[in-house]
Structure 1
Amino acid sequence: MHLALLLSLSVATAAHADETTTEVWTAKCKSCHGPDGKAQTQMGKKEAIVDMSQPAWQQAQTDADIREAIAEGSPRNKKMKAYKDKLTPAQIDALVAYIRTFKKG
């Protein structure tokens, strides 16, 4: 009985974490990177932001690279501000995992 309760709490927590990551992406990232990481937004096109769904980009960037860009801001585009003071390390890690879901094929 305790195991069933624990499992249901774990599933509920995981679902909440996914929802929170989606909310963070929508609030902080989507306006430039788009809903799918392709950067087909007005700002994404204006700033020539890279398509994060491209296999070459996904291969070239390590999780640490992505984490650093989120935490410290992008070395490639100075308009991307640092989020280390606005997001927790867990939220940043969740965004890295979320970005990895954009990978094509």
Structure 2
Amino acid sequence: MMKRFALMMALCLAPSAHAEDVAEVWKAKCKSCHGDDGKAKTKMGQKESIVDMSQPAWQQAQTDADIREMIADGSPRNRKMKPYKDKLSPQQLDALVGYIRTMKAK
């Protein structure tokens, strides 16, 4: 019975821990240019004319694979967006794609 309880607690806590992990990755690797909300209303975002990822048109135009590739391989449009494929795990890359999808403007 105790093992079931421990397993259930671990499963219940996992999504929360995952959400915190991806938020920390965003904060450490992405926030300085893209901002907290993906709108790129930062000094670097405005200097580099970084796209507002919360816009419905951008969200619709980009597939998950497009976003993942941009994170992994860097931006062909902006050389300052370096590749993260050697710095982030495949799971972190996928989590960031999901995180970006939550930034849709209302």
TM-score bracket relative to the smaller structure: over 0.9
Percentage of pairs with the same residue: 66
Q: For structure 2, list consecutive stretches of 5 or more residues without a partner in the other structure.
A: none
What's the TM-score, normalizing by structure 1?
0.95
Shift of 1:3: 4.1
Shift of 1:7: 2.4
Q: RMSD of aligned C-alpha atoms?
A: 1.0
Counterpart of 2:10 in structure 1: which amino acid? L
Alignment of 1:48-67 (within 5 A): 48-67=49-68
Aligned to 1:68: 69
Moved over 3 A (4+): 1-4
Shift of 1:6: 2.0
Cα deviations by residue, 1:47-92 (Å, 9 ceiling, x for unpaired)? 0000000000000000000000000001111110000000000000
- Number of residue pairs the alignment of both structures matches: 105
Shift of 1:17: 1.1
Aligned to 2:7: 6
What's the TM-score, normalizing by structure 2?
0.94
